A = this chain, B = another copy of it.
Amino acid sequence: MPGGPLRDRRPEGGERLSRATAHRLSLYLRALAAWPADGGKVSSGRIAAACGVTDAQVRRDLASLGHLGRRGIGYDAPELAAAIRAVLGIDRTWRAVLVGVGNLARALLRYRGFRTQGFEVLALFDADPAKVGERVEGLAIEPTDRLAERVRELGAELAILTVPAEAAQPVADALGAAGIRGVLNFAPVLLKLPPRVKLVSVDLAIQLEQLAFLIQHGEPAADPAAR
C-alpha cells in the first residue's frame, strides 16, 4: 500500500479548535473590549454571563489557548485579549478589497470595528460605470474589470463580496485567480472556489427564515448570538 503512515498525519500543534469555539472567542473578545478596565482580572463566570454561555464552556474554550488562567484568581484581561486575537489571526492588519458598492457596502464601510479589529479596506470596485470614480468613505470606486490587477498590486488577501447574486460567481473566479486568500460573501449563492480560498457566507434572508422557524416551533431558549 503506497499511502502508508504519511497520509492523514495530524499536523502537530496540539488541539485544533473548532469553528464554534472560534466564534465564541470572538464574543469573549468583544466582551473584554467593552469591559470597564478595572483590575484587569476576569473570571470565566463573568465572561459567560456577558456572552450568554456557561462558565464551563468558557473555561474549556480558554484552556484550548494555553495556560492563561490562574486557579483561584482568574484570567488577566489584556493578556487574554491578546491571546484570543493571536489565535483568531487578528493580531495584525488584513488587507481587503470590497466589490459591489451598494447600500450594504456603505453600511459595512461605516461600521466601526472593522478597522479597529484589524481589517483595512484598500479599494472599492463596482461594475456600474456610473459609480466609477465616486468617492465613498475616502475611497474612489474603481471598475470591476481592474479587480484582479489591483488585487495583486495592493497585495490584498481578503475580499468582501456585496454584489448581486448573478455577479457573484464571476467575481469570485476573478478573485481566486488573482490569489485572494479569503472571501466574505453576502450574495445568496453557493460560491465555487478553489480550496485554498477560504469562504464565509452571510445570507440575510436565511436569517429571517431562521427566526420564523424559531417562533414557529417554541424553542426553549433565546439565542445568544448567531451566525
Contacts and interface: CB of A to CB of B under 8 A. Distances in A.
A171 to B, nearest CB: 16
A117 B87 CA distance: 39
B222 A193 contact: yes
A52 interface: yes
Interface stretch (A73-81, A104-112, A126-134, A139-147): A104-112
B107 A102 contact: yes
A118 B205 CA distance: 10
Interface in A209-223: 209-223
Contacts of A103: 103-104, 106-107, 110
A195 interface: yes
A199 interface: yes
Interface stretch (A23-31, A35-43, A59-67, A148-156): A23-31
Given A22-B213, A89-B212, A198 B219 contact: yes
Contacts of A52: 190
A139 to B, nearest CB: 15
Contacts of A102: 107, 110
Contacts of A188: 30, 113
Contacts of A97: none
B182 A198 contact: no
A200 B217 contact: no
Contact of A94 (B88, B89, B118, B212): B212
A215 B157 contact: yes
Contacts of A198: 211, 214-215, 219, 222-223
A203 interface: yes
Given A16-B217, A190-B51, A201-B223, A114 B182 contact: no
Contact of A114 (B22, B108, B183, B208): B208
Nearest to A160: B208
A1 B193 CA distance: 56
Contacts of A222: 193, 195, 197-199
